[in-house]
Amino acid sequence: MLLLSFLPSAALSQRTPPNTIITKGYSKMPFKYLPVQELCAGGDAMEVSRVEPWKLYVPAFRMAPGVYNVGGNTWMASYLIDTGAGLVLIDTEIQECVYLILENIRSLGYDPKDITDIFVTHAHIDHIGGVAALKALTGARIWLGKRDLHFINNTNLVGAALGYKCNYVPFEPDCFYDDNKPVKIGNIIFETINTAGHTPGTTSFFFDVTDKNGRKLRCGLHGGIGINTFSDEYFEKTGEDPALRTEFAEGLKKLIDTHVDVCLPSHNNQTGPHLFVDQITEDFNPYDDPSIWKALMEFSLDRFENAMGKK
């Protein structure tokens, strides 16, 4: 019952989401054929997610063996990874959407209480808003990039400075990532890289899974590509260090040539994986395509440089 106290009454009245996906603001065109800008335009998704999250509902789907997109909406993302010895959840979205994540995990036949570890990419409310609720439900260890620690009790940094109006309950992280010490959970070794910029502690994840033919697939998740934290106004308002701009660009340049078979976007609207669900078969995985990672990294660097007036 503790969990329910976090949820708004509107969400409780809609425990079973209707099978509809609102695509307002998005294109249905596949990522490969579409300028990524169109998918990245958030539109009014931020507000719809907070007030009527079921309208963006997307059922869970598999992106790689044992790796499921359980975010439950077209805008934010959350991933469930079956390590063979407990479940890992990457990102929790806003607390108003936690019930959709739980519905999705259960629909796959898993028990959310088997989540042992929650990795957060960075301390913005659309990634950590659900942490307190999920910690209360699961008791999972919470992992954070240490450089984001000062965000946790600062609502301005967590979201107010970005215009988010979601409910937020602070939490205590249990562990910090160490780029020199991959995190081994069950059969999976999670390598982390601090990709500072969007926030100081933004963390990216790389790990291998094996398909039924014994082939290894490299999964990669860049923890934060948004450029909404690079304006002079943002730095003045928050007191954060403008040198984060340089760190952001350097991080992307390093990752452009990294080989990633399956790109897990930190927001679903970055690459639109939910638009490809119909293509998934036993023998075909539409997400197994290294060009998606490369395109997303190139797009992110390009967008940043354009915004900074360097092009």
Q: Please give the residue ranges that form the binding site for Zn ion (CB under 5 A).
A: 124
Nearest residue (CB) to Zn ion, 37 versus 279: 37
Smallest distance from Zn ion to CB 258, Å: 21
Nearest residue (CB) to Zn ion, 124 versus 222: 124
**Helix (H) or strand (E) run with residue 291 in it:** helix 290-307
Quote the CA–CA distance of 157 and 229 in Å, as a whole number: 10
CA angle 140, 143, 146 (to 5 degrees): 155
The residue whose Cβ lies closest to Zn ion is: 124
CA angle 261, 287, 213 (to 5 degrees): 65
- Nearest to 126, CA basis, from 103, 160, 102: 160
Smallest distance from Zn ion to CB 3, Å: 24
Smallest distance from Zn ion to CB 60, Å: 23
Smallest distance from Zn ion to CB 31, Å: 21
Nearest residue (CB) to Zn ion, 138 versus 203: 203
Nearest residue (CB) to Zn ion, 3 versus 198: 198
Sequence-separated contacts (24+) of 232-240 with Cβ below 8 Å: 234/161, 237/156, 237/161, 238/156, 238/157, 238/161, 240/157, 240/200
Smallest distance from Zn ion to CB 293, Å: 19
CA angle 121, 125, 128 (to 5 degrees): 50
Nearest residue (CB) to Zn ion, 123 versus 140: 123
Contact predicate 265/191, CB 8 Å: no
Contact predicate 91/77, CB 8 Å: yes
Structure-token pair, residue 137? 């439900």
Nearest residue (CB) to Zn ion, 50 versus 124: 124
Nearest residue (CB) to Zn ion, 104 versus 270: 270
Quote the CA–CA distance of 53 and 211 in Å, as a whole number: 33
Smallest distance from Zn ion to CB 276, Å: 24
Smallest distance from Zn ion to CB 198, Å: 5
